[in-house]
């Protein structure tokens, strides 16, 4: 019982919210492209390049806000390249996304070596991290334990969670949100109605880059104040997995991100109990695989019905249909 109390407490919930924020931000960004009918697997690269340039901007300017802006601009450049290749030149979105992920990994390592003369990580060098916001009077009102759940986070943590209801209203109540959904679900119908699908997909890609940039900046200036090689650590791919089974719905995204954030926070806590590190670090990714397996298992009856219906129509058409 003492072990469980030491493991599952308020500190674990606080850590869950902190670890959820970067995944949630990049997943919310991916919801724009998902709604617009684009499968964006390049979230990992956008997040990674933003994390590096956020640190670089913070060092050069001495300002965390300027660092965040630099990170967002870097992610927007990657998002624009993705949109040009996928939307204008109709390149395969999976190939382009993977190529940009590889480019981001190689670019950050090369720039780190060229600028800082080192590989592995960038620590110190005057990095200015994001400040933690303390909500006044909350501790007296709720007590220390409950106040920890609502106060003491960096601004981008609050942005991540407040963006969930904001995007839910955006997709359901605004003209742009409705047009994005139509462009993704029925692009031919959207074109017939005079909606410019290509322009909408450019907009969705850039909005995705904005949120991915915020996620990367939070990861290197808020979650931790440093940059390491491949510091995104698959969080962009986790976001892609969440987008697959949530179809970009903000509420389902929040639930999925909280599950992965909890697994990530729990894995960090379990390291203090002497368990094998390779098993602990695999915990968040195991959760992702289980979620995708559950999605595929749930889809089996529907896929079986669709296959059976297709076969029934083919048989009812008779042999003449193949002539």
Residue percentage of the chain with pLDDT more than 70: 78
Residue 51 is assigned to a structural domain of this protein: yes
Residue 267 pLDDT exceeds 80: no
pLDDT in the model for residue 279: 62
Q: Produce one character per residue of 28-67: b if its CB has 16 or more CB atoms within 10 Å, e if not.
A: bbbbbbbbbbbbbbbbbbbbbbbbbbbbbbbbeeeebbeb
CATH number, position 318 = 1.10.3470
136-150, 176-190, 200-214, 225-239, range with the lowest pLDDT: 136-150
118-127, 179-188, 236-245, 266-275, range with the lowest pLDDT: 266-275
The Cα–Cα gap between 161 and 182 comes to 26
pTM of the model: 0.85
The closest of 72, 71, 98 to 237, measured between CA atoms, is 98
Residue 322 pLDDT exceeds 70: no
Residue 4 is assigned to a structural domain of this protein: no
* Beta-bridge mates of residue 133: 153
- Give me the number of domains the chain comprises: 1
Residue 101 is assigned to a structural domain of this protein: yes
Per residue in 180-214, pLDDT tens? 999 898 888 888 888 899 999 999 999 999 999 99
User: Containing domain of residue 148, as a range?
Assistant: 10-322
Q: For residue 228, give the 3-state DSSP assignment.
A: strand
Q: CB neighbours (10 Å) of residue 290? A: 12
Residue 1 is assigned to a structural domain of this protein: no
Per residue in 62-117, pLDDT tens? 999 999 999 999 999 999 999 999 999 999 999 999 999 999 999 999 999 999 88
Question: What are the angstrom distances between the C-alpha of 215 and each of 15, 119, 161, 286?
Answer: 16, 23, 12, 22
Give the pLDDT band of residue 289 (cuts 50, 70, 90): low
Residue 3 is assigned to a structural domain of this protein: no
CA–CA–CA angle 265, 268, 272 (5° rounding): 135
Residue 226 is assigned to a structural domain of this protein: yes
Over the chain, what is the mean pLDDT?
A: 84
The Cα–Cα gap between 85 and 130 comes to 34
Tokens of 248: 């970009």
Residue 5 is assigned to a structural domain of this protein: no
Residue 2 is assigned to a structural domain of this protein: no
Per residue in 31-66, pLDDT tens? 999 999 999 999 999 999 999 999 999 999 999 999
Q: For residue 124, give the 3-state DSSP assignment.
A: coil
Helix (H) or strand (E) holding 287: helix 283-317
pLDDT in the model for residue 323: 35
Residue 258 pLDDT exceeds 80: yes
Residue 276 pLDDT exceeds 90: no
* Beta-bridge mates of residue 228: 121
* Beta-bridge mates of residue 187: none
pLDDT in the model for residue 189: 85
Give the pLDDT band of residue 268 (cuts 50, 70, 90): confident
Residue 11 pLDDT exceeds 90: no
Residue 315 pLDDT exceeds 70: no
Residue 237 pLDDT exceeds 60: yes
The Cα–Cα gap between 62 and 46 comes to 23
Alpha carbons within 13 angstroms on the beta-carbon side of residue 264 total 23
Residue 312 pLDDT exceeds 60: no
Q: CB neighbours (10 Å) of residue 132? A: 12
The closest of 13, 89, 76, 80 to 49, measured between CA atoms, is 76
28 within 8 A of 34, measured Cβ to Cβ: no
pLDDT in the model for residue 300: 54
Mean pLDDT, residues 106-135:
88
Q: CB neighbours (10 Å) of residue 141? A: 11
Backbone angles phi, psi at 195, to 5 degrees: -85, 125
């Amino acid at each position: 019982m003492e072990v469980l109390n030491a493991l599952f407490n308020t500190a674990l919930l606080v850590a869950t919210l902190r670890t959820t924020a970067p995944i949630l931000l990049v997943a919310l960004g991916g919801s724009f492209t998902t709604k617009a009918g684009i499968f964006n697997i390049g979230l990992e690269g956008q997040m990674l390049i933003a994390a590096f340039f956020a640190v670089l901007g913070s060092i050069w300017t001495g300002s965390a806000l300027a660092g965040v802006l630099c990170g967002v601009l870097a992610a927007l450049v990657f998002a624009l390249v993705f949109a040009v290749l996928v939307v204008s030149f109709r390149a395969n979105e999976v190939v382009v996304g993977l190529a940009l992920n590889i480019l981001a990994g190689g670019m950050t390592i090369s720039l780190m070596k060229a600028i800082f003369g080192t590989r592995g990580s960038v620590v110190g060098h005057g990095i200015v991290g994001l400040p933690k916001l303390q909500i006044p009077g909350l501790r007296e009102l709720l007590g220390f334990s409950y106040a920890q759940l609502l106060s003491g986070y960096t601004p981008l943590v609050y942005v991540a969670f407040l963006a969930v209801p904001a995007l839910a209203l955006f997709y359901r109540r605004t003209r742009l949100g409705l047009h994005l959904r139509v462009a993704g679900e029925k692009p031919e119908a959207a074109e017939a109605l005079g909606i410019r699908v290509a322009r909408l997909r450019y907009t969705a890609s850039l909005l995705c880059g904005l949120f991915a940039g915020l996620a990367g900046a939070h990861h290197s200036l808020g979650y931790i104040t440093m940059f390491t090689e491949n510091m995104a650590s698959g969080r962009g791919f986790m976001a892609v997995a969440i987008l697959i089974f949530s179809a970009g719905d903000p509420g389902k995204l929040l639930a999925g991100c909280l599950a992965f954030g909890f697994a990530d926070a729990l894995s960090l806590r379990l390291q203090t109990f002497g368990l094998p590190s390779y098993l602990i670090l695999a915990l968040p990714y195991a959760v992702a695989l289980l979620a995708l397996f559950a999605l595929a298992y749930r889809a089996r009856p529907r896929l079986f019905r669709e296959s059976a219906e297709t076969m029934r129509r083919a048989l009812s058409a008779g042999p003449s249909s193949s002539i």
